[in-house]
Amino acid sequence: MAMSKIMHMRGFLTSCPGVSPLATCSIGLTFATALALAPAAPATAATAPATAATAPVSAATAATAPVSAATAATAVTTATGWGQAAVPGSTRSLPLVPLSRERVLGGAPEQGLYRTGLDRFALVGVVWDDPGTELRGQVRVRTRSAVTGQWSGWQDVEAHHADHGADPDTEEGSSRRVRGATAPLWVGDSDGVDVRVRAAGPGRGDGTGLPSGERAGGPGASLPPGLRLELVDPGGGQGRMTGEGLPGNPRGDDPPRTALDTEAALAASAANADITGFGATAIPERDRSATEQELTRLQGPVRGKPYIGPRPRIVTRRGWGADESLRERGFVHTKKIKAAFVHHTATGNAYTCAQAPSVIRGIYRYHVKSMGWRDIGYNFLVDKCGTLYEGRAGGVAKAVLGAHTLGFNTNSMGIAVIGTYGATKPSSAAVKAIARLTAWKLGLYGVDPRGKTYLTSGGGNLYPKGKNVRLNVISGHRDGFATECPGKRLYAKLGTARSSAAGYQGR
């Protein structure tokens, strides 16, 4: 390998926490022996974040390493054998068609699509051209199982999803790529679809689940233009088997890994190298003593008793098989974390815990390819078994700007429990995972989970732009925006999460 190319790789080598600075991180002893290069200093949460107004920056050391994807792939594959095949996936977008001859404002108030014999998909949603236009009506879908050939019953898709997203005046929020969209719905391995979208008109409630005073398909009802059905194949087998297994990888607890063969994949992994080994598929949990030592290393000496919960185990983006080529390059950070907003994904509860990585890959692809966001909107996700997952790239210990609570993304983090929790009670494991995560992450920034904080609204339907709003440190999405999210059953558990998180912090 040419010396110039070797030097370009140096930015991706970071030291392992607690290891001599002469030792390289888990990128492999081959690098240490063959290159004999002193590694770059670990990135810290204190130095890595940039303000939300700055242009996106990559992981701390990646900016100084203009290594080509080909060079990086060659080096990493040679040193570690990590050059695995990328996780496949795809998105198919199909325009909806009128279901009646009636026209309102030039469009049909009822639209839909019926198709069979499709390539397999596992997640669906409906998008439209203008993100500023709300779909006021009902969206229902049924799908045909690719395994049994049987049709499912009709399922409602959450149509009011504008409350999730980047703040209005940010580069991401004002991008021309952004589209209006329903929430995505997980349907499992399918090859046929039947979707019906009916606009709401003035009238009395008719049992359709529409807001009070509206009925589907009423006189004068209209739908936003450009309606399209999105069929998402998350790749990795879509949970066709008992678990996540692919041919040659039959273990249900061993999902496909993201190959470290591009600059984006290397940067996403390097963003966590301040707290775990490079290329890790999961960040291991730590006890209280080790977590307190890590806090001192990341943030400097703490005055008095450190209130921080033991670091929980978190599956990284590489661990759940993120295709890093989908997202925009670089990361955007804010100054600190002052609050955590809890969400539900509204994707339904018909998934197994072994399928959770597939569900996350589906949501990620839907957020980026269908809705036009820069990355998955949530900072963290939790499945029904209590497993925690890294969401938006940029480093789990850092203040990464997300797109989860419209108007309050700055200096906050978004945690989404996978599922729908309006009528369904969340598992105790999921609530515990929220408490453990917030005890650790808020502890990194000296924040009491039981406390109150002030955030400045970026604009929304509850608070005007610029208003300083007093909120619970652990809030539900509905506290910052008029929405049903995170569902009344999950929202009712936030008090438990607050008190438990404070206990984990030793308060």
DSSP state of 354: G
pLDDT at 268: 96
Residue 242 has pLDDT above 90, yes or no: no
How far is Cα 26 from Cα 17, in angstroms, rounded to an integer?
11
Q: Which two tokens stand for residue 126?
A: 């409906």
pLDDT at 482: 86
CA nearest to 110, candidates 142, 138, 143, 152: 138
Architecture of domain 89-240+279-507: 3-Layer(aba) Sandwich (3.40)
Helix (H, G, I), strand (E, B) or coil at 332: coil
Residue 141 has pLDDT above 70, yes or no: yes
What is the mean predicted confidence (pLDDT) over 66-90? Answer: 47
pLDDT at 330: 93
Residue 220 vs residue 4, higher pLDDT: 220
Q: How far is CA 68 from CA 53, 121, 255, 365, in A?
A: 28, 33, 28, 25
Residue 19 vs residue 113, higher pLDDT: 113
Give this prediction's pTM. Answer: 0.80
**Confidence tier at 173 by pLDDT (50, 70, 90):** confident
DSSP H helices, 181-286, are: 263-270
How far is Cα 411 from Cα 276, in angstroms, rounded to an integer?
24
Helix (H, G, I), strand (E, B) or coil at 243: coil
Q: Which two tokens stand for residue 306?
A: 């450190």
The neighbouring-strand residues paired with 314 are 283, 388
DSSP state of 370: I
pLDDT at 105: 59
What is the mean predicted confidence (pLDDT) over 215-232? Answer: 79
Q: Where are the beta strands (DSSP E) in 22-166?
A: 90-95, 97-98, 110-115, 121-128, 137-145, 155-157
Pairing of strands 380-382, 412-417: parallel
How far is Cα 456 from Cα 466, in angstroms, rounded to an integer?
6
Residue 84 vs residue 494, higher pLDDT: 494
pLDDT at 399: 97
Residue 65 has pLDDT above 60, yes or no: no
Residue 103 has pLDDT above 70, yes or no: no
pLDDT at 58: 36
**8 A C-beta contact, residue 359 and residue 417:** no
Return the C-alpha torsion angle 188, 192, 198, 199, nearest 10. Answer: 70
Question: Sign of the C-alpha dihedral, residues 241, 242, 246, 248?
Answer: negative
Helix (H, G, I), strand (E, B) or coil at 87: coil
Provide, for the chain, the percentages of residues in helix, strand and coil under a 3-state DSSP scheme, each rounded to the nearest 5: 20, 20, 55
SS3 labels along 423-446: CCCCCHHHHHHHHHHHHHHHHHCC
Q: Which residue carries 């009528």 as its tokens?
A: 423
DSSP H helices, 199-313, are: 263-270, 288-299
CA nearest to 368, candidates 334, 403, 320, 319: 403
pLDDT at 249: 34
**8 A C-beta contact, residue 5 and residue 67:** yes
pLDDT digit string (tens) for 25-60? 333 333 333 333 333 333 333 333 333 333 333 333
Pairing of strands 339-344, 412-417: parallel
How far is Cα 458 from Cα 369, in angstroms, rounded to an integer?
25
Give the DSSP H or E segment for 31.
helix 29-35
**8 A C-beta contact, residue 274 and residue 263:** no
pLDDT at 338: 97
Cα separation of the two ends of the chain: 54
How far is Cα 353 from Cα 360, in angstroms, rounded to an integer?
11
What is the mean predicted confidence (pLDDT) over 381-391? Answer: 98
Residue 185 has pLDDT above 90, yes or no: yes
Contacts of 418 (CB under 8 A, 6+ apart): 344, 345, 347, 351, 356, 359, 360, 381, 382, 383, 384
How far is Cα 231 from Cα 184, in angstroms, rounded to an integer?
10
CA nearest to 427, candidates 364, 341, 344, 354: 344
pLDDT at 100: 79
pLDDT at 220: 58
**8 A C-beta contact, residue 21 and residue 39:** yes
pLDDT at 284: 97
pLDDT at 99: 92
CA nearest to 474, candidates 500, 389, 314, 484: 500
Task: Give me the chain's average pLDDT, please.
Answer: 80
What is the mean predicted confidence (pLDDT) over 174-196? Answer: 93
Please report, as a single letter, which amino acid is at residue 318. Answer: R
Of 85-99, 203-217, 351-365, 438-452, the one with minimum mean pLDDT is: 203-217
Of 98-102, 368-372, 480-484, the one with minimum mean pLDDT is: 98-102
Question: What is the CA angle 106-112-118, rounded to 5?
Answer: 135
Q: Where are the domains of the chain?
A: 89-240+279-507
Helix (H, G, I), strand (E, B) or coil at 298: helix
**Confidence tier at 104 by pLDDT (50, 70, 90):** low
Would you mind telling me the total number of residues written for the chain in this entry?
507
pLDDT at 2: 41
Of 26-35, 248-257, 464-473, the one with minimum mean pLDDT is: 26-35
**Confidence tier at 161 by pLDDT (50, 70, 90):** low
**Confidence tier at 237 by pLDDT (50, 70, 90):** low
